[in-house]
Amino acid sequence: MIFKKSFFKVFFGVVLISMIVGKTFIAFAQFDFDTPYEVSAEVVVLKNNFVKARKKAVKIALRSSLEQNLREILGDDGFQQNWREMQRMLKVSNKYVKSYRFLEAYDDSEGLMSGVKLEVNLFQGAISKTLSRRGVATGLEGIEQVLILINESSLSSNGESNIWEKVPISEMLLTRIFIEAGIPVVSRNSLRHEISKKMLVSAIEGNVSDAVNIGSKVGVSLVIVGKATSSSVVGREANMKKVRVGINVKVVSSPQSMVVAAKSDFATASEGEIFASELEAFHRVGKKITMFLIPTIQEHWAPGSINKEVQRSVPSVPTINNSPLPFGDL
């Protein structure tokens, strides 16, 4: 029985990844540049000092990753036009490196060469802030973006995953629908080197002040925080597994430091396996939530609406016994 349950978790996990993650993470890379860079460098070893040569190769590779990033943001022409500022940033390239790992490293004792190949992740937020502070136009200043943070308790989760590495089903679904509607979404993983875990958890739990702080640090105008849960319910058909999923969210404006919209809803689904039912229920409630949120956000971003204090209340939801979420209580 344990083996069977684990098998179906893996199976539907694969289905979920193929349906959601494949599209979502590609879009993430387009908007927050969280894709790592693979860079190589090779240097001559002087006085048989391979240790010093290795350090120099790493330094050159890190500099190369930052230069690639800056050229992607500004274009080759923009990079050349701002040559002095670019060189100032490249001199302290390690300041903008989140992390790196060795993909390859070698020393050639005969040819006296030392080389490395690294995978490098950069602090895109710090890069953008430096460019803005130095008056370098990036072309990204006018792009409105959202961040989605959901605290999920589901039948398919084991509750032991790393908060940075585990992206909830509901969060992936909402992200995919938002991106398909043309709304840029910043990935949760891009926050891990910018904010503390304590602040992240607090924002997800509904602390508006922390949600505003996160939005300001990451550079997004709207932060969507909320909860999602799933539970099995008794169905009429014995061979069908019925699951109910509920989601409630708040949309917090970073510039206005206020909640501009809120929504709660739920959905049920019955399939032959419980995890298939759960996934279908998440799809259904996700569509309900986004049918309200997408036009609301688009209206909020419309020209002339920034000064309007749009406070939307939670639509009333019928009370259901043993409801998995307090839908009307945000």
Reported as a single tens digit per residue, the pLDDT across 245-296 is 999 999 999 888 999 999 999 999 988 888 889 999 999 999 999 999 999 9
Same-domain pairing of 111 and 209: no
Task: Give domain status of residue 310, yes or no.
Answer: no
Same-domain pairing of 237 and 154: yes
Looking at 133, 157, 187, which one is the last position of a domain?
133
Number of domains in the chain: 2
Task: For tokens 């959601």, name the residue.
Answer: 20
Task: Give domain status of residue 319, yes or no.
Answer: no
Q: Read off the pLDDT of each residue in 74-97 and give the average, rounded to a whole number.
A: 89
Residues 260 and 312: beta-carbon distance below 8 Å = yes
Instruction: Write down the mean pLDDT value for the chain.
Output: 78
pLDDT attached to residue 123: 83
Same-domain pairing of 157 and 290: yes
Pick from 220, 217, 242: which is nearest to 231 by CA? 242
Distance CA(238)–CA(318), nearest Å, equals 26
Pick from 104, 118, 116, 184: which is nearest to 146 by CA? 184
Q: Tell me which range, 69-78, 103-112, 165-174, 190-199, is most confidently predicted by mean pLDDT.
A: 103-112
In this prediction, what percent of the chain has a pLDDT beyond 70? 74
Same-domain pairing of 224 and 277: yes
In this prediction, what percent of the chain has a pLDDT beyond 90? 39
Reading the block at residue 224, the tokens are: 């969507």
Distance CA(268)–CA(249), nearest Å, equals 18
Same-domain pairing of 54 and 118: yes
Same-domain pairing of 89 and 188: no
What element of type H or E holds 241?
strand 241-253
Same-domain pairing of 263 and 176: yes
pLDDT at 238 over 70: no
Looking at 133, 158, 189, which one is the last position of a domain?
133
The three-class DSSP label of residue 153 is strand
Expressed as residue numbers, the domain containing 28 is: 2-32+144-301
- Which of the four pLDDT bands, split at 50, 70 and 90, describes residue 138? low
Same-domain pairing of 155 and 285: yes
Residue, of 213 and 141, whose pLDDT is higher: 213
Same-domain pairing of 181 and 275: yes
Same-domain pairing of 86 and 176: no
Task: Give domain status of residue 97, yes or no.
Answer: yes
Residues 68 and 35: beta-carbon distance below 8 Å = no
The three-class DSSP label of residue 18 is helix
Task: Give domain status of residue 88, yes or no.
Answer: yes
CATH number at residue 67: 3.30.1660.40
- Which of the four pLDDT bands, split at 50, 70 and 90, describes residue 329? very low
Task: Give domain status of residue 313, yes or no.
Answer: no
CATH number at residue 180: 3.30.160.150
Same-domain pairing of 268 and 214: yes
Residues 45 and 114: beta-carbon distance below 8 Å = yes
Residue type, position 114, single letter: S
Q: What are residue 240's phi and psi, to 5 degrees?
A: -115, 140
Task: Give domain status of residue 241, yes or no.
Answer: yes
Residues 299 and 237: beta-carbon distance below 8 Å = no
Looking at 106, 133, 160, which one is the last position of a domain?
133
DSSP alpha helices (H): ranges in 33-144?
Answer: 50-81, 83-91, 124-133
pTM equals 0.57
Task: Give domain status of residue 204, yes or no.
Answer: yes
DSSP letters spanning 115-138? EEEEEEEE-HHHHHHHHHHTT---
Task: Give domain status of residue 321, yes or no.
Answer: no
Note the pLDDT tens digit of each residue in 163-221.
766 788 899 999 999 988 888 888 777 676 678 888 988 998 889 999 999 888 777 88
Same-domain pairing of 173 and 151: yes
Q: What are residue 139's phi and psi, to 5 degrees?
A: 85, 0
